[in-house]
């Protein structure tokens, strides 16, 4: 009896042992094969990427050899960094990893802290020129990414959180006051601080819960600090009253052209001219826009809620002359088609993207009126509405423009100046330093 029960057990153990052996062999073989495949992949240097479209940055370059950096280990460290950073199929691997990370928890709402953005910021940014060139072949087209702070994601929409700084707001106002002082009474300065989407779309209660500062109060404080000659255009209440409309993107930190239009109406009011109605413009729309919030969070929720870029082409002219960072001047369309732009860069269809300097001449207006716009990218979809009110529009992106802003206005006898900056930029020290450099 006993033998009978033992025998099958013994057989089973034998079988198990053989199975284990085969499994062991397969395991070692598979593992070795996987290492070999990745090793060979890593050797395919020609297919290593040099830029990452997903992260919108230049990847680490192979380090130059120096005796000192060799001896202290710096050289090898950078070789390792280069090897990992430019690993073939990097973006595909990143996408797969992001998909896996979605499984870490419940992702219906998220708060993305600026860690990722900070990391990217310290990395070398894609030069504008490279972006311009590759725009044609449809690869990297974003250009200079802006630094995104903390982002709150809920129900497929991302919101940029706003942190008020009294010190920075004061410094911003001093920039404008200084300009007014130097330009004197003849030049009329308008200041249009653009709210970021959290302040307009989220309820006040929600803004408080995510620690986002009150933007209405921020604008009111700002207005109180400006020279009495400066006209502040407070668009907060107007935008808020339209907040059920598509005035901010879901996946990008900019307002839409519609949001910019409501701000433009307020501007026209302040200037005392009638605003054009929206129906007079030719409108186009481009689907499938995945903006900066998507690229910094890689959130599936956002990916499934991509944006549509709607454009309104100005009446008088659709041409502008821009000067890029290399000082080369070209003629571009004020509002161009976004069909050929990649999913991440459709916002570039407005005024040729972020360029140091651009000039629009409207041949339909002969009264010699002129305005200078001191801006970052929020103004890009606003400017098309301005075109039909001025003979000349001078556009200065303070992040890239190198000369004195006030001299530009004086030399061209410009009458109006518009500071159109978003609240995040106003409260961000890097941006402020750039502004201060232009208005010393």
Partner 1 sequence: MVFSSLVFLYVFLALNLLIYCFFARTMKQKNVTMLVFSLVFYAWGGPKYLLLLLFMTAVCWLFALFIESRRSVGARKWLLALTCLIMIGLLVWFKYSGLFLSTLQGLTGFPETIPNIVLPIGISFYTFQLLSYVVDVYRGTVHAQRKYWLLLLYASLFHQCIAGPIVRYADIERELTRRRVSLDEISGGVTRFAVGLAKKAVLANTCAQLVDQFLPSGADALRQTPAADLWLGMMFFALQIYLDFSAYSDMAIGMGKMIGFHYKENFNYPYTAVSVTDFWRRWHISLSSFFRDYVYIPLGGNREGSGRTVFNLFIVWFLTGLWHGASWNFVLWGLYFFLLLLLERSVLSRALRAAPRAVSHIYLLLAVLFGWVIFYFESLPEIGVVLAGMFGLNGNGFGTFKTLVKLENHLFFIVVAVLAAAGVLKKCYEAVRRRCAQRTGLSTVLSIADAVSPTLLLILSTLALVGDSYNPFLYFRF
Q: Which residues bind partner 1 (CB under 8 A)?
A: 12, 15-16, 19-28, 30-36, 38-39, 41-42, 60, 70-73, 76-77, 79-81, 83-85, 87, 90, 93-94, 96-98, 100, 103-111, 113, 115, 152, 209-211
Nearer to partner 1, 66 or 283 (CB): 66
In angstroms, what is the minimal distance from the CB of 243 to partner 1?
21
In angstroms, what is the minimal distance from the CB of 168 to partner 1?
18
Nearer to partner 1, 81 or 361 (CB): 81
Sign, Cα dihedral of 260, 265, 269, 272: positive
Nearer to partner 1, 204 or 339 (CB): 204
In angstroms, what is the minimal distance from the CB of 74 to partner 1?
8
Residues 6+ apart with CB under 8 A from 151: 110, 111, 112, 158, 159, 160, 161, 293, 296, 297
In angstroms, what is the minimal distance from the CB of 90 to partner 1?
6
Sign, Cα dihedral of 197, 378, 244, 148: negative
| DSSP H or E run through 289 | strand 282-289
Nearer to partner 1, 111 or 270 (CB): 111
d(Cα 374, Cα 420) in Å, to the nearest integer?
6
Task: Strands of 34-75 (E only): list them.
Answer: 51-52, 57-58
In angstroms, what is the minimal distance from the CB of 113 to partner 1?
6
In angstroms, what is the minimal distance from the CB of 306 to partner 1?
21
Nearer to partner 1, 22 or 330 (CB): 22
Nearer to partner 1, 97 or 224 (CB): 97
Token reading at 430? 């890097």
Residues 6+ apart with CB under 8 A from 149: 114, 117, 160, 161, 162, 163, 424, 428
Please spell the DSSP secondary structure of 144-210, one letter per residue. SPPPP--EEEETTEEEE-----HHHHHHHHHHHHHHHHHH-TTSEEEEEEEPPHHHHHS-HHHHHHT
In angstroms, what is the minimal distance from the CB of 57 to partner 1?
12
Phi, psi for residue 280 in degrees, rounded to 5: -75, -15
The closest of 114, 431, 337, 377 to 255, measured between CA atoms, is 377
The closest of 123, 110, 107 to 55, measured between CA atoms, is 123
Nearer to partner 1, 38 or 430 (CB): 38
Helices (H), 282-372: 292-297, 300-303
Nearer to partner 1, 28 or 330 (CB): 28
In angstroms, what is the minimal distance from the CB of 210 to partner 1?
6
């Amino acid at each position: 009896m006993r033998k009978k029960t033992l025998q099958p057990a013994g057989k089973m153990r034998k079988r198990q042992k053989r199975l284990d052996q085969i499994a062991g062999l397969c395991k070692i073989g598979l593992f070795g094969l996987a290492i070999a495949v990745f090793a060979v992949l890593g050797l395919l240097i020609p297919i290593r990427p040099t830029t990452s479209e997903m992260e919108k940055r230049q990847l680490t370059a192979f380090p130059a050899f120096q005796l000192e950096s060799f001896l202290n280990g710096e050289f090898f460290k950078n070789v390792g960094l280069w090897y990992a950073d430019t690993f073939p199929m990097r973006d595909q691997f990143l996408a797969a990893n992001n998909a896996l990370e979605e499984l870490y928890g419940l992702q219906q709402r998220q708060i993305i802290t600026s860690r990722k953005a900070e990391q990217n910021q310290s990395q070398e940014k894609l030069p504008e020129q490279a972006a311009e060139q590759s725009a044609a072949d449809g690869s990297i087209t974003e250009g200079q990414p802006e630094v995104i702070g903390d982002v709150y994601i809920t129900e497929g929409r991302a919101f940029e959180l706003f942190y008020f700084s009294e010190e920075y707001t004061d410094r911003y106002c001093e920039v404008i006051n200084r300009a007014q002082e130097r330009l004197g009474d003849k030049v009329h300065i308008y200041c249009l601080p653009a709210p970021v989407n959290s302040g307009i779309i989220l309820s006040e209660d929600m803004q408080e819960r995510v620690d986002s500062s009150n933007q209405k109060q921020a604008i009111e404080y700002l207005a109180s600090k400006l020279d009495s000659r400066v006209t502040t255009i407070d668009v907060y209440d107007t935008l808020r009253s339209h907040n059920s409309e598509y005035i901010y993107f879901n996946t990008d930190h900019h307002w839409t052209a519609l949001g910019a239009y409501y701000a433009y109406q307020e501007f026209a009011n302040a200037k005392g001219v009638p605003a054009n109605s929206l129906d007079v413009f030719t409108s186009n729309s481009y689907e499938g826009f995945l903006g900066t919030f998507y690229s910094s969070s890689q959130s599936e929720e956002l990916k499934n809620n991509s944006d549509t870029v709607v454009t309104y082409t100005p009446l008088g002219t659709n041409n502008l002359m821009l000067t890029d960072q290399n000082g080369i001047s070209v003629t571009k369309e004020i509002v161009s088609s976004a069909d050929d732009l990649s999913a991440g860069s459709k916002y570039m269809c407005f005024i040729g993207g972020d360029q140091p300097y651009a000039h629009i001449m409207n041949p339909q207006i002969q009264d010699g009126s002129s305005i200078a716009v001191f801006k970052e990218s929020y103004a890009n979809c606003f400017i098309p509405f301005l075109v039909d009110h001025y003979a000349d529009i001078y556009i200065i992106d303070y992040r890239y423009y190198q000369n004195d802003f006030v001299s530009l206005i004086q030399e061209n006898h410009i009458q109006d100046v518009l500071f159109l900056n978003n609240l995040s930029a106003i409260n961000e020290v890097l941006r402020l330093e750039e502004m201060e450099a232009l208005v010393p």
